[in-house]
Structure formats: structure tokens, C-alpha cells
């Protein structure tokens, strides 16, 4: 079974020395056949980690939708790609909470693809939407999936917001049902989706999520900050 395990370090750690230690430990994980491991450190660490761990597959946590030019503080896909980065997380709920819209996400996906980065597009409902029931969740996810205009292969991370960083992971069977629905919906639009699950994954629950082929991998937050835990997930 072909799996993609993505570590999202978010805004951690705060020193380059700690980042290099973590990256080296994760680069040393024995990865089973058929599994691909991607590490997404803060942007400032991409280059030194690239130098220290040439074989580690890297992703960014965001990408600017803006082209090269007078845009202070932006980092575009071209810069990221030229550092030897392969993937870009786009539309994480933590960025959406800072004001990123579906339109922004759509523009970032286009910008990433144009530079040759592979987007990992995050979608997921909050607790209030979940409480409204399955139809409300589907309507919400459909609106978020509307940002994806690509044809062909896409990677979606289904991350229910109420499960992120809470220790309250989704029920694996429920996550698999949602993943299947997302793939079918995108299939109807002409896309072939790999759907990852994210939200409080641990070495203890990872195998249950990966047991259903509808879930093509995991987007791992907190557990990716500990190389032993991350290795446990990679080998789940």
C-alpha cells in the first residue's frame, strides 16, 4: 500500500540547532517500502535542512500566490521550489483562521502548481458544522474543494478542525467514509485524489486510519515534533 506521511512542524522549533537535530532524526527513520515521508519545517529552516539532509523530502507550510516582485514579506513557489522543496501545504485551517479565504487558497494552488510544487490542500469542518450533521459537513467541504481547479492528480488533507491538536482524533471509520466521499466528489470533477487524514494522529491510532485504503496517508502535526513518535507513525 502506497502511503504519504507528512510531518507539519508548524511554528516549531525556535532554534536552527533544534530544527537540524529533529530533521536529522527524521531523515534517519527507516521508511517501509511503499511509504513516502515528507517533512514541512518552518520556511527559514528549509535551506539548512536541505543542506544537512539531502535525501529528506521537504514541503513548505504555505506558499505565496503573488509573483516575483515588490511584495514585502512574501515567499513564492519559485523561491521554495528552487530550495529543493517538493510539496506545499496550502489552506491549513490555522491559516484560514488568520483570514485566508477559499479564493486565496485557489490562487495559492495555482501559484504552487505553476512553479512545480505539489500542493497538499487542507480542508475540514469545525465543531459547529459537525454538530449540524453530515449534510452540513458535505456542503462545507464541497465549498472548500471548489478552490481546486486542477485536473489530474491532487492531494487533499481532510483535517477536521475539532480534531487538530486536541487529542480528539476522528473515528477512523468516519474519516475513511469522508475520505471516500471526497475522492468520489473530486473524481466526478475529473480529478484523481489521494486523501490524507490529519488531526491528533499518534503512533497508537495511525494504523487504524491507514487500515482503510480510502486514507492514502496522514498529515501529522504534534507527533511530528518527536522523531520517535513520527517514526512510530511512519511504521504504523
Which of 154, 222, 229, 234 touches ligand PGA (CB under 6 A)? 222
Q: 98 by DSSP, 3-state: which?
A: coil
The set of residues, in sequence order, having a beta carbon less than 8 Å from that of 142 and lying 6+ positions away, is 185
Q: How far is the CB of 220 from ligand PGA (least distance, A)?
A: 5
Catalytic residue among 92, 94, 100, 125: 92
CB 105, CB 90: distance < 8 Å: yes
Q: φ and ψ at 81, to 5 degrees?
A: -60, -40
Instruction: Report which secondary-structure segment, H or E, holds 7.
Output: strand 3-8
46-53 contacts: CB < 8 A, separation 24 or more? 46/80, 46/83, 46/85, 47/83, 48/16, 48/19, 48/20, 49/19, 49/20, 49/23, 50/83, 50/84, 50/85, 52/20, 52/23, 52/24, 53/23, 53/24, 53/27
Binding mask 155-194 for ligand PGA (x = CB under 6 A): ----x----xx-----------------------------
Is residue 200 part of the contact set for ligand PGA (CB under 6 A)? yes
In whole angstroms, how close is the CB of 181 to ligand PGA at the nearest point? Answer: 20
- From the CB of residue 156, how many other CB atoms can be counted at a distance below 10 Å? 28
What are 224's strand-pairing partners? none
Candidates 26, 100, 125, 159; catalytic one: 159
Instruction: Give residue number: closest CB to ligand PGA.
Output: 221
Which one, 102 or 226, has the nearer CB to ligand PGA? 226
Residue 121 forms beta bridges with which residues? 90, 156
Site string for ligand PGA, 2-31 (x = CB under 6 A): ------x-----------------------
State yes or no: residue 147 binds ligand PGA (CB under 6 A): no
The least distance separating ligand PGA from the CB of residue 9, rounded to whole angstroms, comes to 10
Q: Which stretch binds ligand PGA (CB under 6 A): 16-24, 105-113, 213-221, 227-235?
A: 213-221
Among all residues, which ones are annotated catalytic? 92, 159
Interaction site with ligand PGA (CB under 6 A): 8, 159, 164-165, 198-201, 219-223
Amino acid at each position: 500500500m502506497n502511503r504519504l506521511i507528512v510531518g507539519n512542524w508548524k511554528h516549531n522549533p525556535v532554534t536552527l540547532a533544534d530544527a537540524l537535530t529533529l530533521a536529522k532524526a527524521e531523515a534517519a527513520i527507516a521508511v517501509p517500502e511503499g511509504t513516502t515521508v515528507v517533512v514541512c519545517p518552518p520556511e527559514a529552516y528549509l535551506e539548512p535542512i536541505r543542506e544537512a539532509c539531502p535525501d529528506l523530502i521537504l514541503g513548505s507550510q504555505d506558499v505565496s500566490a503573488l509573483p516575483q516582485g515588490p511584495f514585502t514579506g512574501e515567499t513564492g513557489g519559485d523561491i521554495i521550489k528552487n530550495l529543493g522543496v517538493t510539496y506545499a501545504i496550502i489552506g491549513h485551517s490555522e491559516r484560514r483562521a488568520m483570514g485566508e479565504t477559499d479564493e486565496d487558497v485557489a490562487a495559492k494552488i495555482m501559484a504552487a502548481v505553476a512553479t512545480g510544487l505539489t500542493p497538499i490542500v487542507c480542508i475540514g469542518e469545525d465543531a459547529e458544522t459537525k454538530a449540524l450533521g453530515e449534510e452540513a459537513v458535505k456542503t462545507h467541504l464541497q465549498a472548500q474543494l471548489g478552490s481546486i481547479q486542477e485536473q489530474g492528480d491532487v492531494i487533499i488533507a481532510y483535517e477536521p478542525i475539532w480534531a487538530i491538536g486536541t487529542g480528539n482524533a476522528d473515528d477512523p471509520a468516519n474519516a475513511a467514509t469522508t475520505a471516500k466521499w471526497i475522492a468520489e466528489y473530486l473524481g466526478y470533477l475529473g480529478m484523481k485524489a489521494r486523501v490524507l487524514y490529519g488531526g491528533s494522529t499518534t503512533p497508537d491510532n495511525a494504523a487504524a486510519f491507514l487500515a482503510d485504503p480510502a486514507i492514502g496517508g496522514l498529515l501529522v502535526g504534534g507527533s511530528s515534533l518527536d522523531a520517535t513518535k513520527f517514526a512510530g507513525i511512519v511504521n504504523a
